[in-house]
Chains A and B, each alone.
Chain A
């Protein structure tokens, strides 16, 4: 797809859909994937047909299926976002000890989470605003240290337009030096030992716009390309 075709596609998608569609391309056939609440739940509908992923739920499922249809809910089939769910053929149920063993043991290939803040070192804050209501970290701290690839899928800026990708997180961390990739509606960024590497930008933005909306230092990749969604 060339840039002008890509621009046409991008215009049909919401910010969140763009992010979900880009993340969906990263999975391989057979990947075991944990999708967080919110934006990441949009990802499954964008996964290419030839790729079958296995969704992991913290409360004990590999192979989470689509949400249960109205009237067909089973009160004991509930996913980690507290939705009545189904299970795919080949899926399995287990307890929390096994579930977090799968996570910490490196058996989960990808975890996709939202962010309140993420920074140059790959630190992630996504569970607590200082002075805000305390809700708890749930399984997020285990997911970010255990999953093979930690993907932050988040809008580039906060609701009031200030940057989320910072030099240094100021909110309490979910994990230190844990993030591998940041996908926003504007950019695809890799966390490297040298810093944040800008590898792709959306067809409807410019490098300058991405830099102006990012507090962290960005290294521009030599082979920077247009994000294909």
Chain B
């Protein structure tokens, strides 16, 4: 199976109305080429799950500002100054999750779990706004959050082989490894020249080849 494709073809798989997980933390690990192409292909009514939405100059930030995104699920949006006003005027819906809850909801979605039980956000707006539902188990109070899944996951990797095995470098990993398990279709934009199957040391691989559907080679 040939997983290697172009940015154009990879992004053409996305349908209007899809839920997308897009990797990255302050744009580190965000697949800028794929986000740019989503804007170019004018995909509409998207829901985007990401940590922080990038910044207004990044492709992800511009995508969120484009009017083609109906909802974002983030933990922080401090760089997207216009987002609060867009939310107020009803142009976009914003759901804020504590960062640890967000990653765990994604992990639960990807790993076949029924949700997350956490103490984060208990007795705060997270509970009051109804995002987390309080449950009492084994003598303790927890907030329950349902799992998150995506139609398409788009992430950046540092190294890959043509089977889809992925490695990350530095703080590029952040949400990216876990998001690969929670997307029905997974597209990885790869920084370094993609290797042949078998050329990456098996015990260094961070996401397993069968999980990844498409690879896009960044310009080297």
List the B residue with the shortest CB-CB distance to A176.
Answer: B123
Q: When chains A and B are docked, how far (Å) is the Cα of A57 from the Cα of B26?
A: 13
A114-140 residues with Cβ-Cβ distance < 8 A to B are: 128, 133-140
Q: Say yes or no for A97: interface residue by CB 8 A criterion.
A: yes
Identify B122's interface contact among A79, A100, A135, A145, CB under 8 A: A145
Distance of A58 Cα from B100 Cα, bound (Å): 9
Docked complex Cα distance between A93 and B176 (Å): 13
Chain A residues closer than 8 Å to B118, beta-carbon distance:
104, 142, 145
Q: How many residues of A contact B (CB 8 A)?
A: 40
Size of the chain B interface, CB-CB below 8 angstroms: 46
B138 interface residue (CB < 8 Å to A): no
A60 part of interface (Cβ distance < 8 Å):
yes
The answer to whether the Cβ of B2 comes within 8 Å of any Cβ in the partner chain is: no
Name which residue of chain B comes closest to A177, CB basis.
B123
**Contact (Cβ within 8 A) A96 B81:** no
Task: Let me know if A174 and B124 touch, CB within 8 A.
Answer: yes
B220 in contact (CB, < 8 A) = no
Known: A135-B78, A136-B76, A139-B75. A100 touches B177 (CB 8 A): no
Task: Work out how many contacts link A and B, with CB atoms closer than 8 A.
Answer: 137
Contact A175 B124 (CB under 8 A): yes
Chain A interface, DSSP helix/strand/loop, else mixed? loop
Could you tell me if B170 and A137 are in contact, using CB atoms closer than 8 angstroms? no
Question: How many angstroms from the CA of A77 to the CA of B25 in the assembled complex?
Answer: 11
Determine whether the beta carbon of B98 is less than 8 Å from that of A97.
no
Binding site for B on A (CB under 8 A): 57-61, 74-79, 82, 93-97, 99-100, 103-104, 128, 133-142, 145-146, 172-177
Binding site for A on B (CB under 8 A): 25-26, 28-29, 51-52, 74-78, 81, 83-84, 87, 94, 96, 98-101, 103-104, 107, 118-126, 158, 168-178, 206
**Given A59-B28, A78-B26, A95-B175: 10 more A-B contacts, CB < 8 Å:** A77-B171, A97-B103, A133-B81, A134-B84, A136-B52, A136-B74, A136-B75, A139-B99, A141-B98, A173-B124
